[in-house]
Amino acid sequence: MALYRRFSRVYGSLHRHGRLAAAATLSDHSSACKAFPQHPSIPSFSNSLTPFDPTNSTYKHFICTRFYPENQTLVQLLHYSTLANPKKENDDKHSGKNNGLEVLSWIDLYLPKKIRPYAHLARLDKPIGTWLLAWPCMWSITMAAESGSLPDVKMMALFGCGALLLRGAGCTINDLLDRDIDTKVERTRLRPVASGALTPFQGLCFLGFQLLLGLGILLQLNNFSQILGASSLLLVFSYPLMKRFTFWPQAYLGLTFNWGALLGWAAIRGSLDPAVVLPLYASGVFWTLVYDTIYAHQDKDDDLKVGVKSTALRFGDSTKEWLTGFGLACIGSLALSGLNAEIGWPYYAFLAAASSHLAWQIRTVDLSCRADLYPISGLARLSIVAFYLDDSFLSGMDTIFKSFCLDGMKKITGKVVEIQ
């Protein structure tokens, strides 16, 4: 009973600090295993009411030590999950759940307590959204580079920071507008605004702070780019509302997320070349339709309950046929953009590799398994390499190679040699 009382005191302290974990200051693993089955009245965070039995072979458990500086407490967290359904366990791992326990990220472990909700609101621990926003910018900046030179590294860094800020601002807007819906969806109910960790006013103030920083980056660009960049805010603010009115919110997300394909070119050239940037922009929209439709399948049951729409619900059992069409349109648009930009053959070689990877993803993805619904397309991995290996870059390398050969021949023969 003394052990149980120790647990209760620590549990109460942690619960007041918002710790969603069964905790005990226990000295060893065997004590923990003996303590829990003897006291089924200990609050359980499992979705099941069945008491935890560590002797049951269908369970696995482990102890993870955590130090909480705010109350100077060293705590050992007892995590457990059922093995009876390995597929469900794998799904929970990828969806951020552990049988009702919230999975701690680096935000919870290293950031000060007061700013953790804001970091979660901006999804700083989930960088994939920032990458997806940044890639079209990098593609466009690379294509706009002058012949014989590498892309502008300073501009790529500015756009990288802008992608981080704009993605965080978009998530903040989404959570503010969707806070009533998020409380009804399993995956989103613990978001800062929906859970009450932040008030809507605090979220709005944080949004203003993010937009102010974004404005600082935007002012570093030319006047045309400033106007073009500011116009994207209409898409950013209206996107969260689309799921209420149309089955195509993923298409609207594509228009929003790939605006950088236009802005990156404008930041380098000071204008737009429609023959190059419009196919590039379209390819990004089709790419977004592929990955976000796959991603939307994890929420389709909850979407039906709360009455919101998505392409996952629109396509249903025909999803893979639609994805195949979007994938072909994406690759075709990228090829057309490269053709109009007069990019050399390495671009198409890497594009072929990226398209093969995308085809493999569409063919093998299991739309009923959450673990499969986090696609990172080969386009992101390979297309950027293809843009670097265009004719301008190869011509620059050719010049360097010729200079190296000329110097070598001069040293060997003592004569000046010309290489055509």
According to the model, what pLDDT value does residue 372 have?
A: 63
Report pLDDT for 187: 83
Instruction: Report yes or no: 313 and 293 within 8 Å, Cβ to Cβ.
Output: no
User: What is the pLDDT at residue 255?
Assistant: 96
Own/partner contacts of 191-199, CB < 8 Å, gap of 24 or more, are 191/120, 191/121, 192/117, 192/118, 192/120, 192/121, 193/121, 197/18, 197/117, 197/120, 198/117, 198/118, 198/121
Tell me which residues of the chain have a pLDDT lower than 70. 1-103, 371-420
Predicted local confidence at residue 368, as pLDDT: 82
The single-letter DSSP state of residue 99 is: T
Scored b (16 or more CB within 10 A) or e, 49-63 reads eeebebeeeeeeeee
- What does the pLDDT read at residue 201? 96
Least Cα distance to 313 among 302, 328, 326 occurs for 302
For the stretch 151-164, pLDDT in tens is 999 999 999 999 99
Q: Are the C-beta atoms of 332 and 361 separated by less than 8 Å?
A: no
- Distance (Å, whole) CA 323 – CA 315: 10
In this predicted structure, what is the pLDDT of residue 170?
A: 94
pLDDT recorded at residue 103: 65
